[in-house]
Structures are given as C-alpha cells and as structure tokens.
A and B are shown apart, each in its own frame.
Chain A
Amino acid sequence: MTIAFVVNGRPVVLETDPLRRLIDVLREDLGLTGVKEGCGEGECGACSVLIDERPALACIVAVGAVEGRHVVTIEGYQERDLFRKVASAFSETGALQCGFCTPGMIIAAGALIDACSDPDEETIREALSGNLCRCTGYNRIVQAVMRASRETKEPSSL
C-alpha cells in the first residue's frame, strides 16, 4: 500500500505494509533513531512523536493510520525555539542521566508548555505521567519543565 505523510516538514511517500508500526518505519526506513523503543506497548513514552502537533506513541500506531498527517520526531523538533529552551533547561537542571527517556520527555514537556504557559507541579506530573524514567526520579525533570516554561513566558511578557 502506498502511504503518503509528512515527517519533520518533508513529504514522504512509502510503499510498505500499512500495519507496520510507525516506530519501525521512522527508525528503519527513515533513519530517525531519536525515536526510542522502550516497552513497545504504549507504557513508557520513549517513542513519543507529535502527530498533527499532539503527542502520540509511535510503537502503537500503524503507519497506515498516519496517511496525510504530520509527524514530528525529536529530530524535527530540534529545529524549534521551544526545543532549545526545554533542552537547555533539562541539561542545566540535571534532568537527564542516560538520556533514553529524554526525547520523549521533551516532546511531552513541549506539548504541555505550548498548551499551558504556566503549569504547576501537578499539571506537569500529569502531562508527563506516560513517560517513564529509570534514572532521575522525576523531580529534576519537573523542575526543568518549570524552568523552561518560565523562560518561554519571559519574552512575551516584555
């Protein structure tokens, strides 16, 4: 089946089995290895991508379901201003150790900051509740998201 969709702003047309998982197509066919596979069952968030600007899990989406839609992986997300703010808040706060969960965390955190300019701790924990981290114990991640949201707010409040 021919599947046409947009990945990181570029149109992609593939001849492939529509039931292949989006994560496999992104990693194997398109070389986008920032999309990580943790659990493969929708439970850890390592494979988070944006589909039409909303966080989704590439391990439980069939590629045929994204026909005509916009997929953004961490590679495409890196081009955004928001990415730079979130990523630097993560490194300054010590919100990553091994880094395996980080692409997914950043996608989830960025979507939250887009939707809510001043999230409190509870809102952040809820927004990241589907993203597991084996290393950091989450507190630093929450602090990093708070910091990043403060930083995104500043320019507009001038």
Chain B
Amino acid sequence: MKDTALRPRDLEEALILRRETGGILYAGGTDLMVRSARWGTVNADADRPVMFIGHLEELRQVATEPGFLVIGTCATLSSLRGHPDVPVLLKRIIGSMASPAVRNMATMGGNVCNASPAGDTIPYLLAMNGTVLCASTDDQKEIPVNEFISGPGTTILAPDEIVTGFRIPRYQFDYEFHKKVAARRANALTKASIVGLAQKIDDRLVDLRLAFGAVGPKVVRSLDCEQALLDSLSGTNGRYEREEILAAVLRRYARILSPIDDQRSTADYRGTVAIRLARHFLKEVLGLSYQP
C-alpha cells in the first residue's frame, strides 16, 4: 500500500519533508476532514501526501517575549483558552467558536491558514497587528496577517514553508470588543463578526481599530477609516458633533464592506449587521451610549 501520509518526528524533519514533497499539512484536521468528507479528498491535488504536524511539541507552545506573545501554530483552541498568558479577548473569541470537542482538536494555525473570511481568530490577529511566523529549511519570515492571507481560502505561504506560529503585541486596550453573530450558539459559522479596540489618553482617542469577519472575501480592516475618525475628533467635540462624526465614519465603512451573498445570509443582511456592530462599539468609545 502506498503511504498516503507522513509523520515527521520533529519540526526539522517536517521542514525537510515539506520541501521534498510539498505535503498538505494536517494540524487538527477539523477543516481538512470536513473538506474531505464533502469532496472525497483532503485536497484537489491528490498527488501530494498529507503530513501530520499536530503532534509536534515545538509547534504547540505558548511563549512570552518582551512585549509579545508567541502562539505556536499547533496550540489547540482549548489549550489557548486555558492558558494563563493568553489575553482575555482571544479567550472570549475562542469561546465563541465551534464546540468544546472541536476546540480540543482545532488549532489556531489551522484557523488562520484555512484563510476563511469567517475564520474567527483572524479579525483578532488583524486588529492586534499580529504577524504570521513562517519557516522553511533555510529561511524564517514574519508576515503581517493581512498580507499572509491573499484571498478567500488562499495564503502566500510558499510550498516549502510551514507556519510555525503567531507573534502578537502584548497590549491591553481601554476598550476591547468582540461580537459574533451566528444562527445558534455552537457550531454555527459566523454571519458577521467584529473585533474593536480603542485607546484613549486624557479622554482623547489615540488609537482605534476595527476588524470585520465574514463580510467580504477577506477579513476587513481599514486604516483609512480608522485614521479619518481619529483626525475628525478634536477631543472637545460636543455630543451632536460626535454623532455626526460617527455617522460619517459608518458611511465610509458601509462603502468598503462587501459581504459575500451565500445561503447563510444575504449580503445586505451581513453588511447591515456589521455596521450595526461597529456603531455599537463606536458609540461606547465616543461616549454616545445611553447611560442610565
């Protein structure tokens, strides 16, 4: 029988095998196996072997560096949720994903490399300015997540490379927001999601970031919209002025969000929901929420 899979002993061997075979990487398998159940194969390109990497200890670690958290690509979602160094916001996002049993198998690397616009850890990485760490036998790269993901289901990972982990600035924002809209509580694919972060100094907004999931071919973040909002605030705007500024920035976002129209939800619905989520967060940041 032909060996249809490889099982490297360590990362070094995995990198060599990846260079030699271009093997399809199997981490937790929760995306690959569903794909294989639907299409009868884990990949359209059946000539490449599958390579198991989920067991490689080097890829399962969570480490802190000065100012950064480094998450190993094969750390399972459950292990991250239970890890003392993982930020609360990421834990909350993980808690909204799949079900406990799926989270025991699924990895963060698989979620990002799957490159679905509905991949729930991607808006987090994007908002946090997280990077993707890639390795080959003779090189190591660090790539911003929005460059790494090139389109729906596609990345710029080279055929001889393996993602080894994610480097995330360790930074606590004054406002940290996550909301995911889905049809039911567990195992429901995201219809629209948002991660919002904001920082103030002396009541003045100095940093604002919004990342939207499931509303376009890729997860969306607009530095232009963020900067425009910061620029239009002087720090002394009255309530009416802030309402106007909010409306203007939401109109800008509405223009760039282009949801995919599929059976899960109509494009209009997704776009509308995403804007509503943004409004909710920005109202709070701009001090426009109703306070009883």
CA–CA, A9 to B186, complex, Å? Answer: 31
| A47-80 Cβ-contact flags toward B at 8 Å (1 or 0) | 0100100111101111011011000000000000
Interface contact A42-B100, CB-CB below 8 Å: no
B100: contacting residue among A41, A59, A67, A130, CB under 8 A? A130
Flag whether A1 is at the interface (Cβ < 8 A): yes
Please give, as numbers and ranges, the residues of chain A lying within 8 Å of B4 by CB-CB distance. Answer: 1, 17-19
Flag whether B36 is at the interface (Cβ < 8 A): yes
Q: Which residue of B lies closest to A45 (CB)?
A: B101
Per the CB 8 Å criterion, the residue count for chain B at the interface is 29
CA–CA, A48 to B36, complex, Å? Answer: 19
CA–CA, A57 to B38, complex, Å? Answer: 17
CA–CA, A17 to B54, complex, Å? Answer: 18
Interface residues of B in 116-134 (CB under 8 A from A): none
Interface contact B55-A1, CB-CB below 8 Å: no
Please give, as numbers and ranges, the residues of chain A lying within 8 Å of B105 by CB-CB distance. Answer: 51, 56-57, 60-61
B33: contacting residue among A21, A48, A55, CB under 8 A? A21
Interface contact B55-A68, CB-CB below 8 Å: yes
Flag whether B5 is at the interface (Cβ < 8 A): yes
CA–CA, A8 to B81, complex, Å? Answer: 28
Please give, as numbers and ranges, the residues of chain B lying within 8 Å of A125 by CB-CB distance. Answer: 185
Q: Which residue of A lies closest to B102 (CB)?
A: A42
B97 to chain A, nearest CB (A): 11
Please give, as numbers and ranges, the residues of chain B lying within 8 Å of A55 by CB-CB distance. Answer: 100-101, 104
Flag whether A126 is at the interface (Cβ < 8 A): yes
Interface contact A45-B33, CB-CB below 8 Å: no
A19: contacting residue among B50, B78, B98, B99, CB under 8 A? B50
CA–CA, A40 to B30, complex, Å? Answer: 11
Flag whether A139 is at the interface (Cβ < 8 A): no
Flag whether A43 is at the interface (Cβ < 8 A): yes
Interface contact A129-B99, CB-CB below 8 Å: yes
Flag whether B52 is at the interface (Cβ < 8 A): yes
CA–CA, A56 to B236, complex, Å? Answer: 54
CA–CA, A61 to B186, complex, Å? Answer: 19
Interface contact B37-A1, CB-CB below 8 Å: no
| B174-216 Cβ-contact flags toward A at 8 Å (1 or 0) | 0000000000011100000000000000000000000000000
Flag whether B165 is at the interface (Cβ < 8 A): no
A21 to chain B, nearest CB (A): 7
Taking A57-B101, A130-B102 as known contacts, 6 extra A-B pairs with beta carbons closer than 8 A to each other, sorted by chain A number, are A18-B7, A51-B104, A60-B102, A64-B7, A64-B52, A68-B55
- Chain B residues in contact with chain A, CB under 8 A? 1, 3-5, 7, 26, 29-30, 33-34, 36-38, 42, 50, 52, 54-55, 78, 98-102, 104-105, 185-187
In the complex, the 5 A-B pairs of residues with the closest C-beta atoms, listed nearest first:
A130-B99, A129-B186, A60-B33, A18-B5, A55-B101
